[in-house]
Amino acid sequence: MIQAIDPAASVRLRKSGGGVFEITVDGQTRFSKRQLGRFPTEAEVRALLA
């Protein structure tokens, strides 16, 4: 989904445990499932990449 929004984006999946899901842009954490207790919506992902 991220590359469909921004084809130039570098997307990497890093294996972890404990239900961690984070979106990091330019070295900064922009979304953390651990902090919010939920996954981002598609609209939130689009806003993070805008």
pLDDT at 20: 84
Q: Whole-angstrom Cα distance, residue 9 to residue 25?
A: 9
Residue 4: partners with Cβ closer than 8 Å, 6 or more residues away: none
What pLDDT does residue 33 have?
A: 92
Give the per-residue pLDDT at 41.
92
Which tokens hold the place of 41?
A: 């919506």
**How confident is the model at residue 25, as a pLDDT?**
83
Please state, in angstroms and as integers, the Cα–Cα distance from residue 21 to each residue in 15, 34, 37, following that order.
10, 7, 10
The CA distance from 31 to 38, in Å, is 10
| Under-50 pLDDT residues of the chain | none
